[in-house]
Amino acid sequence: MKGKIALEEHFNLPEFDHELPVYVNTDSKLRKDVQERLLDAGARRLEEMDDAGIEYSLLSLTAPGIQKQIDRGKAVVQAEQANDDLAELVAANPTRFGGLAALPMQDPVAATAELTRCATQLGFPGVMVNGFTNIGDVDTGWYYDHERFWPVWERAEGLGIPIYLHPRDSLPANTGLYEGHPELLGATWAFTVETATHALRVMTSGLFDRFPKLTFILGHLGETLPLSIWRIEHRASNLRDLRRFDKPLSHYLRENFYVTTSGNLHTPSLQATVSELSADHVLFSTDYPYESMREAATWFDRVPISESDRIKIGRTNARQLFRLDE
């Protein structure tokens, strides 16, 4: 399929290059290749997009990015600079690239202002937040269900800006489960547990009752939530005295979330996800450069789904969600 749109496509800036975790790849040669690809938003990336039939990519600052900065003031400055730099990359190839804004969630007031600036001045149609935000030290993190962030989400809802909730590993205090098993960190498993739990915190906080048109996006076919939501909802229904949310959790997943195919090229999982959410809430992505554009595109172009669903997932859903025709 030609003309695909991809929206979990990462880039990096030289000042963040040293912050990539070791688990990105323990093979030094492959790790170096990933670092080089992250820093490229030119001919090499465009050639790979052309080869994969990807017409347009929404670029986002790779994890952990701004979310790792423990100093509130520095986070504000870094986010503004990162977004300005991304705007320059987009301006160099506006028909091929768009941008997802980075936000300094360490300062919700500044994050709201930066969201507004990115949407109204820089033309970014969405936001990428790389998991929880550190504040003060590496052992302290803020999750986005807290009411301190509600002004950010109110502005996002008002502007029609989707929020892509991207993975990162758990806080150090929560990683004991993986002790002695570093192979389970990162994208292997820890990312999924962390991000799915974060999404459930957001769902159960009452956030979507307060802002019913707010939209979040999850990668990797929804971090297993489309496959698990029945049991989660079923058990939560027995805890009515603890509930802070009004509707079934499956309602929020179907109405307030979209999921992408990034880094999860498993046909039965895609089919189950479409069955649970409908093809209208699934989007194509590749997770470049951590995954291969060609591999993602080859799988997607051949996966046994209807051609109308392929076009929706590959292109038209993204155009509508991010209002790219505007």
Q: Among all residues, which ones are annotated catalytic?
A: 287
The dihedral sign for the CA sequence 25, 33, 294, 11: positive
CA distance 307 to 5: 16
Q: Is 256 left (phi over 0), alpha (psi -120 to 50) or beta?
A: alpha
In order, the DSSP letters of 103-131 are: --TTSHHHHHHHHHHHHHTS---EEEEES
Q: How far apart are CA 131 and CA 113, in angstroms?
A: 20
From the CB of residue 55, how many other CB atoms can be counted at a distance below 10 Å?
16
CB neighbourhood size of 141 (10 A): 20
Q: Which of 49, 48, 47 is nearest to 57 (CA)?
A: 49
Helix axes 249-256, 190-204, angle to 10 degrees: 100
Residue 293 tokens, joined: 């554009």
